[in-house]
Structure 1
Amino acid sequence: MSNQPSRTPTTNNPSRRQALNACEACRKRKTKCDEKKPTCARCTRLGLECMYIETVAAKKNLSIEELTGTLKRMDEKLDVLTAFAQHQAPTTGMASTPGDSHFAAFSPLNLGSTGVAKNASTPFLDTGRVLEELSLSQRHSTAPQHLLTWPCSTLQMSEPDLQYPMELEINRPSLSRSTAPPSCLTSPSEGSWLSRLSLSQVSLLTQSYFRHFHPSCLILNESLFYSQILSNAVQTNFAPNYSSCTVLLVCSLGSIVARYSGHEAWSSGSEQDIGLGFFNLANDMFRDLERCNWESVQCLLLMGLFYSAKLRVYDAWQANHKACCTVSILVPLQRTSETQHCQLFWISYLQESQILAEFDFPASGLGKLASSMPLPVVPGAGADPSHAQYQFFFLALISMRKLLNRILFHLYSRDRTEDPANGEPMHAEKPAAFLAASPSVMFELDRQLEEWRSCLPQGLEFPAYSEAQLAEVPEFDQTHRSTDQRLRGHLMARYFSLCDGYRVCEIIYLAIIYH
């Protein structure tokens, strides 16, 4: 009975959708075609000539067979690249490729829409059971100062001389510890100036944060912030707790936006002091509240965002590094990861990776868990359009970061010396091996980069690089760009540059030419 086709009544039922790419034989007989190429199952069974008429289908009309084939081809390419890299530079310390079952357990295609991602056994942080191309804990050989170590460079600089960016950052004077209020809240009355904050002022600062900082860095859940965190902080009159600390950090970032949006009253003196009153109050509060939990991770990431807005690289690295270390402790202790926790993991990973791409600060090792951490849940059909756009931007950043790491791993790998006594790595890295990959691998990496760009959703897409774009300087107000323009600008910066103006495309093409 199971072999007989089931008959379904056609009354009051819509007609069955016709196959998008059915062969000619199945079309003439109006029978179902499985669309397999070069010969479908029906033509194979009946010995018929199977012919397909090639049509250009829109992206939204691609068949399941074509989508599955594309995904399978991408998986095969990644497997070939991984095997090739392991064959080219076999080292004891290199991570082994996870098994198919382990990879499938963490595939984003297996994530449901329930908001909780099932987490399999988390790999130990020191066993090297994850792909090294995803972790990439070593320094980036394409950072501006490290380009001087390339074989084609005529300058010879010692390792200490190459550390000038680090030396400049760590020797910068500290920020003021003042908790003075902004000029709009200055009053001779006694008591905390936070009590003089009106609801309209708090609303202005929080909305400024969520309009400018939130779209590109989804640290907080906006609806949860307004319904629970903000209401709790206001009801307790900013008593020392995580809610008050979070609101103060949001207000410090919102003050920066408000000041440059025309609200001069939120400045408390010099340009460097904007938002410092809120930030220092939150910082003092956080010293007593800090624990190894996800609330602390949120506060640390907001602090790192504030330091980044102030162009304080060393301070931003300290805050993000502590957040990454906390996440590295929390992830192995959890049997399941909630959606917000996955979100915080990837934000921490991206924030640290961006700093380490330009500066030689020590890495936290969080990248070693990147291949085993589920991706954030893809927005559903009923999601808010703006939130869905932010989430797709976030997913695009993650995929770009992994692609950048893959490019750097395959083009500029490092050899590690081994102890001759026991064969174990001695944790001493040799200089980057320039052009460790073959031209075919380079062209494949370039193809993956272009595929990433072409797959961006509507609103975030942008054209490929061309020389004509250099002469076309867009004319728009830098302070009043739309959210889509700013998000698109972030992605274009990742696509066209890897550390201050060096295009990823150029990194690949320079490698091809030099080879």
Structure 2
Amino acid sequence: MSKRPHEDSVFSKTANFLERSASTPGNSISINELLSNSEEAEADHSETHARKPRNFIASVACENCRLKKTRCDESRPKCGLCKALNLECVYSERKLSKKDQSIGMIISTLHRIETKLENLPSVISNDIRPITGHVLQAVEAIQASASTTAAGTPSARTSSHKFSLSQNTSPAATNLLEAETQGSADGKEIISFSQHGVVVWPGIIERLPHDFLSVYEQIGRNYVLDVELERPPLPMWVNSPFGLPNTGNWLEELPFALVKGLCEAFFSLFHPFTPFMDKHFFFSLTLGTVIKHGFSTTIETCLVLNVMALGCLAVRAYEEADFPLPGTMGDHFERPAWFEAVLEDPPGLSFFNEARKRMGFLMEKNNLSSCQYYLLSAMYYTQIIRPLDSGAMLNRAATCLCFMLANRDINYNEWEGDMKSRVFWNTVMYETILVQELDLPPSGLLSLEDNVPIPKFIPFKLSSEITRLPDPDESYYHQSESGNLPRPAVSIELHKQVEEWRKNLPSVIQFSEKNSDTTLNDDRSPSISGTPRTPTSLAVFFGQLLIFHGIANSDEPRLRATLPPGWERWYDEMVEFLEYCSAYSPAISRDMDLVRLL
């Protein structure tokens, strides 16, 4: 470290001042003069001599320089000291300082701002695009009406029909046509998710016959909603099933085998596709409460009756597909003793009406059970092809969910929270389909999808008060003439041993866990299957017929080659199935009128 010379120090100047003062006789020195003299000396020194810069400090010194405590010149690959001593020069990894971290945060912030500025033109163009779409639509309509020479071309037909259809559609459908026009102006084609919207696809409408387009223009794009609004409601009074007298307590006289069989049919057929119910909870508590206290005016009774109504439809599906009922032996359907209970038209209407009567006094509730009831009702209306009634029940279920989920802290890692998640996502899927098909306004349930996680299917656990109750599945799937059933632990261990034995078999005699032989007949109609109709199956048939017709009549050979082998037979099967269902739905009857014009 460098030192200042003695003559430049403050103390030396002070000593010289004292010597000069002492040599002058009669002069006395005060403390103020002494202090002021030292300050002046320091000021003079700061003015004449600038402070020397700090010696160089290595930001990352090598390990040898650190050990010897010498200055490292940071030369690479070896510093000067290591090169002189012929040592291995190793630099440790430099740690980021607070200054470097601050610079990194500033750079990332600037990058985000730059990204937003780059996306700003696209946002502005999206705001201006609706106005441009209206102008383009008006110009296109004027050109289509004024052009008489090109009236027979596909493009002229497409634009003219789009303009005429927009005058006979609902606001939701009009918005869809505007979106299609906007997409065309942007160079991207936007097609409708709705199966009935396949008609206005650019590649389909060009291949449709003129008679088809004329009739479609007359009835309007939203004809499904129009005819369903004029449909009469379901009858309130029907003859009681199972040959029982039509009395007020006919439900109390139902045999337990009937109740159990219908509930099992529902959970084996409908539940895998729409798992918003918990089977273990239903058989342990919901059904147990109804069996114990009777079919009173409770939400548990309404749930059981709706499940039984859907169970009647499931039994008819098993009969149609010739599949054995769950819990029965054999490879074919065998009518149970209570089969007369499902012979109504539509099946299960008696149970469904009894549930509707009781729900009238419980409709103000907005809990999980009420939401499940409305979802079950929507499923029943869907199966008997009443889409508008199904949409009303879905809207009521969405309202219950908004009450339950909005502004509430829910633990989705517990059974109750997970059940709400299951009900939420099933409702969202159902509603998305119906909103697109019927051009209905959404309920706003999608605004909660960021707050509701995907369900984990947490199993229901019985409380300590009822853990002594036997598992209902033990009596449903086991039968013993002596009445002595094996303990659950023994059954589980036997199943494990059988599984281990199956896995250790030689490869030549290995077999899968499930029997590969099925009762499905290849010659059977594709429309007849053990799977229930989903909310869009009939609409999907209508859309597929249009797509097959458009591809088959395409001018491009490569596009026609994409049709699967035997598509003509599948086409005829779909037409036959739609014609069968047209007797149960006026909307499908209108679909068939259009299909016959292809």
TM-score (ref. length: structure 2): 0.42
Rg larger in structure: 2
Compare the two structures and name the one with the higher helix fraction.
2
More contact order relative to length (CA 8 Å, sep ≥ 6): 1
